[in-house]
Structure 1
């Protein structure tokens, strides 16, 4: 079992807080089998609110489960409960872990942010929901504060976390 953190880095313009619509947010990533090294060619989604692969051996199931198409090894990924974190204006321009995954037999290698992000503008400004970061940039206008808001230079990385 390996704990892997998803870190993001972005420039926030007049945004106080950026977060996912946890626990329903779908993290889309490509994964690599740690047994044979095969990297999936399609995107897989993991949501903390969904469980799959229940059996008598694993009654609670996993947030994501599959068998490697090359070596048939069982692969599972769970979102670690209470690991979701917001990315704030203070974090802007720095990498910060926003969620932790418990990975068995796999490692995520690519992340696609997709839709479902929530941003809160500064000074008790407007809340923007269902933001799509698939293009790595987003911009809008905060009517309440009469200012432009935006997210730019969105980046990610996965890091192995110490137990």
Structure 2
């Protein structure tokens, strides 16, 4: 099992999460390494949690299946949990966003892409929603309900064995 952990400095927002629905899936993008021959796949691989592929020589399926070009071993990765929202903390803390079960491969590097969402920290059910958060760089916006600037800064990703 592998866990994708996020650490970020949130100001004025909380519940940072990938926009990930069946109608608009989030594509998780990784560098992958074969555990048999240690060959690193030459391209970034993208997969989502709603699409599965059958495994050869098995009745199972996975979200990502590939055959290593070097040793020809088939490997797979399956998303085991729904994405969890990152909640604001002071100081910022590592929090698991999503978990993967990998067979024959390791996820070595994550590349953020796609849309992320967040909520304002105002009290009550009328929290502001931000559905176009871009985490490829520091993100800034304005919360109309609180009248203050909001931001997501110093985003760091870690993939660890769970």
TM-score tier after normalising by the smaller chain length: 0.7 to 0.9
Cα-Cα RMSD: 1.8
CA distance in 2, matches of 1:65, 1:97: 23
CA distance 1:85–1:57, change in 2 (3 Å) = same
1:127 corresponds in structure 2 to: 129
SS at match of 1:88: coil
**Unaligned segments of structure 1, at least 5 residues:** none
Q: Which runs of 5+ in 2 are unaligned?
A: none
> What is the TM-score when the length of structure 1 is the normalising length?
0.87
Q: Under a length normalisation based on structure 2, what TM-score does the superposition of the two structures give?
A: 0.88
Number of residues paired by the alignment? 156
| 1:89 alignment partner, SS class | coil
The answer to whether the 8 Å contact 1:29/1:111 transfers is yes
The 8 Å contact of residues 53 and 62 in structure 1, kept in 2 or not, is answered as: yes
Instruction: Provide Cα deviations, 1:21-63, integer angstroms capped at 9, x if missing partner.
Output: 235221111111111111122111121111123668335x210
8 Å CA contact 1:85–1:99 kept in 2: the answer is yes
Question: Which portions of structure 1, spanning 4 or more consecutive aligned residues, are displaced by more than 6 angstroms?
Answer: none
Q: What is the distance in 1 between the residues matched to 2:73 and 2:32?
A: 13
